[in-house]
Amino acid sequence: MTHIGIFDYGAGNLHSLVKAIEGADRSVSVDTDIRLSLKGDILILPGVGAFGAAVAAMRGAQGYVRSALADGRPCLGVCLGMQMLFDSSEEAPGSNVGIGLIPGRVMRLLTPKVPHMGWNEIEWVGSAKLPAAYFANAYVCEPDDVSSVLAWTTHQNRRFASVVRTANTVGVQFHPEKSSVAGRSFVNGVIDEILQCK
């Protein structure tokens, strides 16, 4: 039985995410203490909310989380969850210390239309795993080293990282749980893949 720990930092849409990943061979727990969530076989950082509130909910445990993930603890970050993997975000100046697993920062999406809402194509660096997905974001990740980027997406005149990976941690800027059958299949495939690597 695989245990999945979801960190609840007051984000919305947890029900959709849990429904997309639960199964007969998986138990899912939702905890407001990230240290409890890290006790599972995989940590999931869900994707709806504000960076500052999510960071505050970690109660200073960023270094603890970063160390666990750097040591190989599997993790999936979805949308805001992906952004939390970075050093900081301009969404929350003054209280913006992220987990810092991936060097870089999160910046406001500077396009004529913000937020970026709806379906968009995914441009994979290697073989394509999901052609398109549903996005809902006003901020994007800017990694210092693009070698962590597995896929890109272009919204209007702005190209940004939409899938990143380092160690056994994967971040996706889109919402696979809202991306139809293909998205749900993709997220479950990612979970299975990174669990095999631990």
Q: Is the dihedral of CA 11, 15, 20, 21 positive or negative?
A: positive
Q: What is d(CA 53, CA 92) in angstroms, rounded to the nearest whole number? A: 9
CA distance 20 to 39: 21
Return the number of other C-beta atoms located less than 10 Å from residue 114's C-beta: 15
Catalytic residue among 75, 79, 116, 155: 79
108: closest CA among 135, 131, 140, 86?
Answer: 140
- In sequence order, what E strands does 109-157 have? 116-121, 123-124, 132-137, 139-143, 149-155
Q: Are 107 and 90 in contact (CB under 8 A)?
A: yes
Residue of 75, 116, 141, 177 marked active site: 177
Is there a catalytic annotation at residue 79? Answer: yes
Catalytically annotated residues: 79, 175, 177
